[in-house]
């Protein structure tokens, strides 16, 4: 299987450190954060990956090269302007062969990817997201699942005005190749804001030849996605019943802010991960 790592972000919350260093290349106990993610993937049996780069991409590409010295096969998908999490994945479409993992380039969790894959296949899911429980979801947004693990609500952090505990997106996704058709090309598009919420909305019923269900063929017209003066409206299948969460208990760190970055650095220096 392949894995994509999203590492094209500007890292604004870690300024001034990220003015000359991409966020995913921030040093952690003597090596870049991204190297820990690559080691994590290798430990889970994945040796082929696509690094979705953007800001200061040459720093990443020069360091990792073809990946041979890390025991990996690394290819690159470079975005010339910010495309968002969804847009970056769409930009790499030609390099993706089939079912694939996606990792945020600033999050670390000790998840067993084989267990996630097994659950994904058992549920016949189109998308499965790793979820972890935190005491305060306001920094991350909140994900709500039903008793069977289906995701029934996906709230971005901007919509949460008070602190509370709950499950959050832990930054690892497993996607079927078909989901690429849900992402519009060449515009800025967010998985979290534009795609995932649409997976749990039923807007319109009609026949669908693209993603047939066992007992029904229904499609949904997604919301018009606007980037500056640009609008894109896409016909998409209603696949909410195949959008699942996978609950994970264990270490989760997002290095996107200085406090969390320092925390992960201390953990790795003590080699407790």
How far apart are the C-alpha atoms of 59 and 76, rounded to whole Å?
A: 13
How far apart are the C-alpha atoms of 179 and 242, rounded to whole Å?
A: 11
By C-alpha distance, which of 28, 23, 21, 27 is closest to 6? 23
How far apart are the C-alpha atoms of 225 and 124, rounded to whole Å?
A: 28
> Any catalytic annotation for residue 47?
no
How far apart are the C-alpha atoms of 246 and 249, rounded to whole Å?
A: 10
How far apart are the C-alpha atoms of 193 and 172, rounded to whole Å?
A: 16
Residue 59 falls in which region: left (phi positive, over 0), alpha (psi -120 to 50) or beta: alpha
Q: Give me Rg for the CA atoms of the chain.
A: 18
By C-alpha distance, which of 53, 104, 44 is closest to 72? 44
Cβ distance 8 to 55 under 8 Å?
yes
CB-based burial, 215-226: b 16+ in 10 Å, e otherwise: eebbbbebeebe
The residue from 157, 164, 186, 266 that is catalytic is: 157
Q: Residues with catalytic annotation?
A: 157
């Amino acid at each position: 299987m392949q894995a994509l790592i999203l590492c094209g972000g500007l890292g604004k919350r870690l300024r001034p450190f990220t003015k000359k260093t991409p966020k995913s290349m921030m040093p952690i106990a003597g090596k870049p954060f991204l190297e820990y993610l690559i080691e994590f993937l290798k430990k889970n049996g994945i040796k082929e990956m696509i690094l979705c780069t953007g800001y200061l991409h040459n720093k990443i590409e020069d360091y990792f090269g073809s990946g041979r010295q890390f025991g990996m096969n690394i290819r690159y998908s470079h975005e010339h302007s910010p495309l968002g999490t969804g847009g970056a994945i769409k930009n790499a479409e030609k390099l993706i062969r089939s079912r694939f993992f996606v990792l945020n380039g600033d999050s670390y969790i000790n998840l067993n990817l084989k267990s996630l894959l097994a659950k994904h296949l058992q549920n016949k899911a189109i998308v499965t997201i790793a979820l972890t429980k935190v005491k305060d979801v306001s920094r991350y947004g909140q994900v709500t699942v039903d008793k069977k693990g289906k995701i029934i609500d996906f709230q971005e952090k901007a919509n949460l005005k008070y602190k509370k505990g709950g499950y959050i997106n832990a930054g690892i996704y497993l996607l079927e190749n078909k989901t690429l058709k849900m992402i519009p090309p060449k515009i800025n598009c967010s998985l979290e804001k534009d795609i995932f919420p649409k997976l749990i909305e039923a807007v319109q019923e009609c026949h669908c030849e693209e993603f047939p269900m066992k007992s029904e063929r229904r499609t949904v017209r997604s919301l018009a996605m606007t980037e500056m003066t640009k609008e894109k409206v896409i016909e998409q299948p209603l696949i909410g019943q195949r959008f699942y969460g996978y609950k994970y208990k264990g270490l989760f760190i997002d290095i996107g802010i200085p406090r969390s970055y320092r925390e992960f650095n201390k953990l790795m220096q003590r080699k407790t991960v």
